[in-house]
């Protein structure tokens, strides 16, 4: 088993229960596991010794919601100034051209950016399976994660309610319930590993109330529970979604979830903005989790996540960057800064500190994914998943007064080193297992192809209200 000593760090921010910090300390790792944290550790003969002088070490960030394939539809002019439903209607037309190789390359880009921003475990919600595309799409992103060395939680998404049946997506990107359930079973049986330091855990994830049928929700829940895997879906993201549920089913989104067995401590929702007080209490009592995605919610004008009410009522809250088309980045560190500022504006200056945000993106996210026994903090017995920042960087000069808050308050987007399960995957701010320039070039070419096929031109860009005055 490979051993590693990371020695003499400026500080180790553990985010353990007491939020302990270890200035000047070292960490010893065997295989994936942290074996010791402290000063003067006697492991100088470890296989790898990393001098961490001037470095601040943090627990790896955990992303609880993403759509990696959307990395190819960032900064599309026609989708920049829309709310969710119009935004989706614009982008479905591009996404229907997705091929297996696009899924692989877009995942390499998105996961690469996550690693470079301190993320060590990423969840993904993959739900676009265009008709006529052969190949096993979700397998391609699992392959990308394995090549990059990130801990991965792919969820097999689905859409079954096409436009002809009253849903929002075009019929070309929906599948039958039967095909969805068959492939979901295959993905779980092929990839799901529930062991403590597993590199791949799989979840089941119908897309949203307006893109899947009630029957599929019910059957997906039964399937997930028969394999004891976790369940994930978008919920209470917009008022439009709430109106859709009331008009179509005569019930609010959470009632629809209750009615289809989509509530419980094995379920986490993405967004969760439009729940009322009674629903938040119910979610807390049931042990539900929520992936909070502040940038996406701000960009699509969806609303503000009621984080204090959620935490007060025991709802598990983690952080997510959401899909790249509504972010338009995959930087967990940037997301932390946005989260911190959003809640200061919305809930007051003392509502949530930078360190509280760090908690949400580490321990909080680990609880949302049901993985808190292995990841989310730096403690003996947990995985050596961490990132380091160099306190000597120019953007930190004059700011070295609170190590735990430093990258969040200053808003740095990138780390110097990332380690996942005791393996270095980002070194000197660069991905270790990939040639970044070549990847970026092939990604942009593939994205061009999809956008050109969809014929989405910049002329469709909406005129802003302000543009009338900015002559």
For Zn ion, give the closer residue by CB, 95 or 387: 95
Point out which span in 55-63, 205-213, 265-273, 299-307 binds Zn ion (CB under 5 A): 265-273
Number of residues that bind Zn ion (CB under 5 A): 2
Radius of gyration, alpha carbons of the chain: 22
For Zn ion, give the closer residue by CB, 62 or 270: 270
Residue closest to 127 by CA, chosen among 168, 80, 82, 165: 168
Which segments of 229-283 are extended strands (E)? 231-235, 267-271
CB of 291 to Zn ion, least distance (A): 8
For Zn ion, give the closer residue by CB, 55 or 232: 232
CB of 68 to Zn ion, least distance (A): 11
For Zn ion, give the closer residue by CB, 322 or 416: 322
For Zn ion, give the closer residue by CB, 269 or 359: 269
Point out which span in 6-14, 314-322, 414-422, 450-458 binds Zn ion (CB under 5 A): 314-322
Which segments of 8-54 are extended strands (E)? 11-12, 26-30, 33-38, 48-51
Point out which span in 263-271, 345-353, 357-365, 406-414 binds Zn ion (CB under 5 A): 263-271
For Zn ion, give the closer residue by CB, 207 or 389: 207
Helix (H) or strand (E) run with residue 424 in it? strand 423-427
- Which 318-347 positions form the footprint of Zn ion (CB under 5 A)? 322
Output the residue with the shortest Cβ distance to Zn ion. 322
CA separation, residue 367 to residues 63, 89, 215, 323 (Å): 12, 33, 29, 21
CB of 322 to Zn ion, least distance (A): 5
CB of 348 to Zn ion, least distance (A): 28
- Whether 251 and 224 have beta carbons less than 8 Å apart is answered as no
CB of 10 to Zn ion, least distance (A): 36
Token readout for 365 is 């996210």
The Cα–Cα gap between 304 and 310 comes to 12
CB of 237 to Zn ion, least distance (A): 8
CB of 271 to Zn ion, least distance (A): 7
The Cα–Cα gap between 381 and 366 comes to 15
Dmax (CA) for the chain in angstroms is: 68
Point out which span in 68-76, 269-277, 359-367, 441-449 binds Zn ion (CB under 5 A): 269-277
Backbone angles phi, psi at 12, to 5 degrees: -115, 115
Point out which span in 48-56, 274-282, 317-325, 418-426 binds Zn ion (CB under 5 A): 317-325
Residue closest to 416 by CA, chosen among 434, 432, 403, 428: 428
Place of tokens 């989310």: 376
Q: Which residues bind Zn ion (CB under 5 A)?
A: 270, 322
């Amino acid at each position: 088993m490979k051993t590693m000593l990371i020695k003499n760090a400026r500080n180790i921010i553990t985010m353990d229960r007491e939020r302990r910090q270890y200035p000047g300390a070292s960490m010893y790792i065997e295989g994936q596991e942290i074996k010791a944290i402290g000063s003067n550790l006697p492991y100088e003969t470890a296989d790898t010794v990393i001098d961490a002088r001037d470095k601040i070490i943090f627990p790896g960030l955990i992303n609880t919601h993403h759509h990696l394939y959307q990395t190819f539809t960032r900064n599309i002019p026609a989708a920049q100034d829309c709310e969710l439903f119009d935004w989706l209607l614009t982008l479905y037309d591009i996404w229907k051209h997705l091929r297996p190789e696009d899924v692989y390359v877009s995942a390499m880009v998105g996961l690469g950016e996550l690693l470079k921003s301190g993320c060590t475990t990423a969840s993904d919600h993959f739900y676009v399976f265009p008709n006529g595309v052969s190949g096993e799409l979700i397998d391609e992103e699992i392959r990308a994660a394995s090549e990059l060395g990130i801990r991965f939680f792919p969820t097999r998404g689905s859409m079954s309610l096409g436009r002809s049946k009253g849903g929002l997506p075009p019929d070309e990107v929906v599948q039958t319930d039967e095909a969805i359930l068959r492939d979901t079973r295959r993905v779980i049986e092929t990839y799901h590993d529930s062991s403590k330091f597993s590199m791949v855990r799989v979840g089941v994830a119908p897309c949203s109330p307006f893109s899947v049928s009630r029957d599929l929700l019910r059957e997906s829940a039964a399937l997930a529970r028969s394999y004891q895997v976790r369940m994930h879906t978008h919920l209470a993201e917009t008022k439009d979604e709430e109106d859709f549920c009331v008009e179509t089913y005569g019930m609010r989104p959470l009632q629809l979830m209750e009615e289809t067995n989509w509530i419980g401590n094995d379920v986490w929702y993405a967004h969760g903005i439009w729940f009322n007080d009674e629903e938040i209490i119910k979610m807390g009592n049931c042990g539900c989790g929520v992936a909070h995605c502040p940038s996406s919610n701000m960009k699509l004008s969806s609303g503000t996540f009621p984080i204090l009410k959620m935490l007060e009522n025991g709802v598990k809250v983690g952080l997510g960057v959401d899909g790249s088309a509504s972010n338009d980045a995959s930087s967990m560190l940037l997301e932390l800064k946005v989260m911190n500022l959003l809640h200061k504006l919305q809930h007051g200056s003392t509502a949530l500190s930078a360190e509280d945000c760090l908690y949400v993106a580490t321990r909080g996210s680990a609880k949302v994914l049901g993985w808190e026994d292995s990841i989310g903090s730096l403690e003996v017995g947990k995985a050596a998943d961490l990132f380091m920042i160099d306190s000597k960087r120019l953007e930190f000069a004059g700011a070295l007064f609170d190590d735990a808050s430093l990258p969040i308050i200053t808003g740095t987007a990138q780390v110097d080193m990332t380690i996942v399960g005791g393996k270095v995957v980002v070194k000197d701010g660069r991905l270790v297992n990939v040639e970044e320039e070549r990847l970026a070039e092939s990604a942009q070419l593939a994205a061009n192809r999809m956008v050109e096929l969809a014929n989405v031109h910049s002329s469709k860009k909406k005129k802003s209200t302000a543009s009338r005055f900015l002559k």
